[in-house]
Amino acid sequence: MEGVELVTFVNSKVIPISIFLIMMGMGLSLVTNDFKRVVKYPKAVAIGLTNQLLFLPLVGFALATFMSLEPEYAVGVMLLVLCPGGTTSNLFTYLAKGMSRFRSQ
């Protein structure tokens, strides 16, 4: 396989299948009590969502603005802060034997 064909194969087959397997594995590790805890403590969920969806983009925009980044880099920073990285963070938490569920044990 040549370089371009390999990149195309990885981007079109390997990455989507890997993401599917990671998300499926993390989802299957959840139990009903994990979701009950979300309903029981909605304030924690609201704080997390607010930070992820409101404050993180604002901080990224401020950094890109105050650091006088070139437009390409500024767009890259904004893309990173606007796209939650749940799949990767769940994988690393799982590999580190951390708490990947919504509840503490």
- Name the residue ranges covered by the structural domains of the chain: 1-30, 41-99
Angle between helix 56-66 and 71-82 (nearest 10): 170
DSSP 26-45: HHHT--HHHHHHHHH-HHHH
Instruction: Give exposure, 7-32, as e/b (b: 16+ Cβ within 10 Å).
Output: eeeeeeeeeeeeeeebeeebeeeeee
pLDDT digits (tens, 9 = 90+) for 63-100: 999 999 899 999 988 888 887 666 566 666 776 777 66
What's this model's pTM, rounded to 2 decimal places?
0.54
pLDDT digits (tens, 9 = 90+) for 54-67: 898 999 999 999 99
